[in-house]
A = this chain, B = another copy of it.
Amino acid sequence: MASSLTPFFYPAGVAVIGASSNPRKLSFGIMRNLVNSAYAGGIYPVNPGAAEILGKTNYPDISAVPDPVDLAVIVLPVSAIPDTLEACGKRGVKAVIVISGGFKEVGAEGEQEEARCLEIIRRYGMRMIGPNCVGLINLHSGLNTTFIYGVPDPGGIGFMAQSGAVMGGVVDLVLGKKVGFSHFISMGNEADVTETDLMEFLAEDPHTRVIAAYVEQIKDGRRFLEVARRVSRIKPIVLLKGGRSSAGARAVSSHTGSLAGSYAAYQAAFWQAGVIEVGSLNELFEVALAMDFQPLPRGSRTVIITNAGGPAALASDALSANGLTLDDLEPETRQTLRAALNPSAQVGNPVDILGGAEPPDYALCMKTLLQDKNVDIILPLLVPQALVNPAGVAQAIVDESRGSDKTVLACIMGDLSVDEARLVLHDSRIPMYTSPEAPAAVLRNMLYYREYIEQPVSEPSVPGCIDRTAAEGILTAVHGKDSLGEALTRPLLAAYGIPQVEGGFAGTAQRAAEIADRIGYPVVMKIVSPQLLHKSDVGGIKLNLADHAAVENAYHNIMKEIGTLRPDAHLEGVMVEKMAPRGQEVIIGMKRDPGFGPLMMFGLGGIYVELFKDVAFRVAPLSAEEARRMITDTRAGRLLTGFRGQQPADLDAVVDVICRLSQLALDFPQIEEAEVNPLLVFAEGKGALALDGRVILKQG
């Protein structure tokens, strides 16, 4: 591996700078873990005071440490760190892990120190993890630079966390359960090495089969999306995002000193990149474990084998709620089971082999169901009974599943009495859950991932017939303003090929009537005023104007009425537009996210968008396929695809408008927000027309 991150994980020699011989100090904990680990390289405590620590010769400073030394773990007060980094650079250290806190997370002064550190490590071509982190554990080489008590089992999950506490909490959760990890990495403030760098490293790491991450903030969203798209096709990425709600985001920002950005953008990026997002810490490892141990399900057809009805009902409810199907068994399978099982057994789905079921009963069911070509997933469920040995049942499940390519997740209920069974199962790569509800969400995520990687890679759409120069001209002309105004929004959208209802802006009654004469009657007239956002609330829309005189009249009336009603509003004029035919109203929007760039939105128009919050988001640039998926992800999408006998609408036209608006946002970073609302969508092949638009510009 040529990665600059390799020295973090496979260093030839580790120095612990600030190592202490006082067992109450964290730096002693680091030495203790390092010395007790299987790491085979040299371990060098660095401390001006001591002679030796835990049997390792101490050095007064890093320059005195003998060769080779690739990695320095630094636990010193903030003020001492820049000089130490200089010394590391001079000594030829390649990688540093800064455990100490007191940087960006404590405010402006800390931020300055952090920037200084970054400058030094860049100057020497070093890489840095942290500051303000817990270090890392490489479970395969044994290297352990953390002070955490306990070491998880080695295995295939590469775990990285933007919270040292989450990392410590997880160690306690998985200890002794044969939930195996390749690496455990605490990322701290990510001044240099980021979650995206580590994701790239783990993608290439031969010991890592699944990447699991706890993430609070992604600074470079665009790069994350690009890298994750690529990595997720090599290995699954299971991710828990902290700070989804605004309260959670506040919590994140108070302990990291940075704003998390919009969760809608994160979610959109995760969908687009095939990242498997989970909702809780338990789910993170429940899913990662299954992804590591088991093949992805070929489909959703699940069979439960159980020795107890109640838990099987709970498992069935959870499976149903997560989109798994519990079909009846094939007649042949039923026959085989019926002939061999206790006559009181229920040969349905669940297969209920009753409370007295012994390991051979489980073995028989497993064998039969693994052979049934209509079964994708098997979920053996056991409630330990007085006379049955859970480990024996676990062994039966293991023996029968060997060599099968079907997905098998075991559920053995309980706590104290199931530890042995878990070890038997995990040793043979069958994940075990203790609640009947847990496997359902795991399987949903496995199916989601399978569906994602089976889609062909789609390229960003590049719409044609765009007059970028015209758009540039319009945006240059309004430089310094905070929004574009309706009169200019129309030509801007036109320059990017977004179809709009015929019409134009008029500042006089005469001009209004001329436009109407040109586009043909009947027309609609709408007031134009920066102060009036909800035009219809003030009577600012006149429909169905039938002739020249009606238009002139309407102009005078609208100005008079609104002038009286809202003397505060500056009335610029009106838009005169052709009355549009009937169609389905939708909204297409864009809002620029600080981390991910233009965030596109699609939703049902009218009052229902607010009532049902039925909207979908994607990060630009997006492919036509992604734009289409964005539409069908909403319930509104069902209306457009021919719901309940309605004629299917022109989805291609909507996809086209989404891609065009997205291109506009990509080309002009000064556009902060844009919206086509409503876009009127007609029947398949008949196109769509924007009735109104809005463009907000970046300030300053």
Point out residues on A near B: beta carbons under 8 Å: 24, 26, 29, 101-102, 106, 147-149, 161-166, 168-169, 172-173, 175-176, 214, 216, 240, 242-252, 254-256, 279-282, 304, 307-314, 316-321, 325-326, 344, 346, 348-350, 352, 355, 383-387, 413-418, 435-437, 534, 537, 607-608, 610-612, 614, 635, 638-639, 643-646
A490 and B608 CA atoms in complex are apart in Å by 32
A384: shortest Cβ distance to chain B, in Å?
Answer: 6
Return A663 CB to nearest CB of chain B, in Å. Answer: 31
Shortest distance between the CB of A439 and any CB in chain B (Å) = 12
Residues on B with beta carbons closer than 8 Å to the beta carbon of A147: 386
Q: How far is the CB of A54 from chain B (nearest CB, A)?
A: 15
* Contact status of A254 and B320, CB under 8 A, knowing A326-B247, A415-B172, A415-B175: no
Name 23 interchain pairs, CB-CB below 8 A, sorted by A: A161-B310, A163-B311, A165-B309, A165-B310, A166-B310, A166-B383, A169-B413, A172-B414, A172-B415, A172-B417, A172-B418, A247-B326, A251-B309, A251-B350, A254-B309, A254-B350, A255-B312, A255-B346, A280-B435, A280-B437, A281-B437, A611-B643, A612-B614
* Contact of B645 with A251 in the complex, beta carbons under 8 Å: no
From B163, B249, B383, B414, contact of A309 by CB (8 A):
B163
| B610 and A216 contact, CB distance less than 8 A | no
Known: A172-B414, A247-B317. 10 other contacts (CB 8 A): A24-B387, A161-B310, A163-B313, A165-B383, A166-B383, A169-B413, A169-B414, A250-B349, A281-B436, A282-B437
- Complex contact B635–A281 (CB within 8 A): no
Q: Which residue of B lies closest to A244 (CB)?
A: B317
List B contacts of A149 (CB < 8 A).
386, 417
A534 proximity list for chain B (CB < 8 A):
645
Known: A247-B319, A250-B348, A436-B281. A383 touches B314 (CB 8 A): no
Which residue of B164, B173, B251, B310 is within 8 Å of A242 (Cβ)? B310
- Taking the closest CB of chain B, its distance from the CB of A602, in whole angstroms, is 16
With A and B bound together, what is the CA distance between A367 and B515 in angstroms? 73
Q: How far is the CB of A479 from chain B (nearest CB, A)?
A: 35
| CB < 8 Å neighbour of A165 from B29, B282, B307 | B307
Q: A326–B318 Cα gap in the complex (Å)?
A: 30
What residues of B have a CB within 8 angstroms of the CB of A416 in the complex?
172, 175-176
Check A251 against B214 for contact (C-beta < 8 Å). no
A148 with B386, Cβ < 8 A, contacts A250-B348, A415-B173, A610-B644 known? yes
Least CB separation from A310: chain B residue: B163
| Contact status B644-A348, CB under 8 Å | no
Chain B nearest CB from A676 CB (Å) reads 20
Q: Are A386 and B611 in contact (CB under 8 A)?
A: no
A325, A386, A643 interface centre (most CB from chain B within 10 Å): A386
Q: A384-B168, A639-B607 are in contact. Are A216 and B313 (CB under 8 A)?
A: yes
Of B168, B243, B344, B643, the residue contacting A385 (CB under 8 A) is B168
In the complex, A148→B417 CA distance in Å? 12
Closest beta carbon of chain B to A95's beta carbon, Å: 24
Nearest B residue (CB) for A149:
B386
Tell me, in angstroms, the Cα distance from A169 to B147 when the chains sit together. 37
* Chain B nearest CB, measured from A349 CB (Å): 8
Chain B minimum-CB-distance residue to A283? B437
| Cα A384 to Cα B166 with chains together (Å) | 10
A314–B384 CA distance with the chains assembled, in angstroms: 33
User: CB distance A162 to B310 under 8 Å?
Assistant: yes
Give the distance in Å from the alpha carbon of A161 to the alpha carbon of B244 in the complex: 37
Q: Across the two chains, which residue of chain B brings its CB closest to A168?
A: B383
Asked if residues B387 and A344 are in contact (CB atoms below 8 Å), the reply is: no
Assess the A317–B163 pair: CB atoms within 8 A: no
A607 proximity list for chain B (CB < 8 A): 639, 643-644, 646
Residues of chain B lying within 8 A (CB to CB) of residue A172: 384, 413-418
Give Cα distance in the complex from A246 to B26, angstroms.
Answer: 55
**How many Å from the CB of A643 to the closest CB on chain B?**
7
Find out whether the CB atom of B635 lies under 8 angstroms from the CB atom of A352: no
Residues of B close to A282: CB separation below 8 A? 435, 437
Closest residue on chain B to residue A638 by CB atoms: B611
The residue in A256, A314, A355, A635 that gathers the most chain B C-beta atoms within 10 A of its C-beta is A314
Q: Are B173 and A281 in contact (CB under 8 A)?
A: no
Contact across chains for B314 and A280 when beta carbons are under 8 A apart: yes
Known contacts A165-B383, A172-B384; decide if A316 and B348 are in contact (CB<8 Å): no
Query: Within the assembled complex, what's the spacing in Å between the Cα atoms of A508 and B252?
Result: 73
B645 lies within 8 A of A317 (CB): no
Give the CA-CA distance A437 to B286 in the complex, in Å.
15
Task: Identify the closest chain B residue to A33 (Cβ).
Answer: B386
List chain B residues, Cβ under 8 A from A418: 172
- The smallest beta-carbon distance between A16 and chain B, in angstroms, is 15
Using known A-B contacts A414-B173, A612-B614, A645-B537, determine if residue A320 contacts B246 with beta carbons closer than 8 Å: yes
Q: Which residues of B contact A646 (CB under 8 A)?
A: 607
Instruction: List chain B residues, Cβ under 8 A from A216.
Output: 310, 313
Residues on B with C-beta less than 8 A from A250 are: 316, 326, 348-349
The 5 closest A-B pairs by CB, nearest first: A163-B310, A165-B308, A255-B309, A245-B320, A172-B414
**CB within 8 A of A314: which of B101, B242, B313, B325?**
B242
Q: How far is the CB of A639 from chain B (nearest CB, A)?
A: 7
- B610, A612: Cβ atoms closer than 8 Å: no
Known A244-B317, A251-B350, A281-B435; judge A308-B386 contact (CB<8 A): no
- Are the CB atoms of A317 and B242 closer together than 8 Å? yes
A397 to chain B, nearest CB (A): 18
Query: Quick check: A321 and B387 within 8 Å, CB to CB?
Result: no
A172→B537 CA distance, assembly (Å): 63
Note all chain B residues with C-beta closer than 8 A to A307: 165
Q: Which of B164, B165, B248 contacts A317 (CB 8 A)?
A: B248
Contacts of A254 in B (CB 8 A): 309, 346, 348, 350, 352
Are A317's CB and B635's CB within 8 A?
A: no
Q: How distant is the Cα of A249 from the Cα of B314 in the complex, in angstroms?
A: 10
Chain B nearest CB, measured from A517 CB (Å): 31
Candidates B29, B161, B355, B387; contact of A386 at CB < 8 Å: B29
Of A161, A346, A638, chain B has the most CB atoms within 10 Å of the CB of: A346
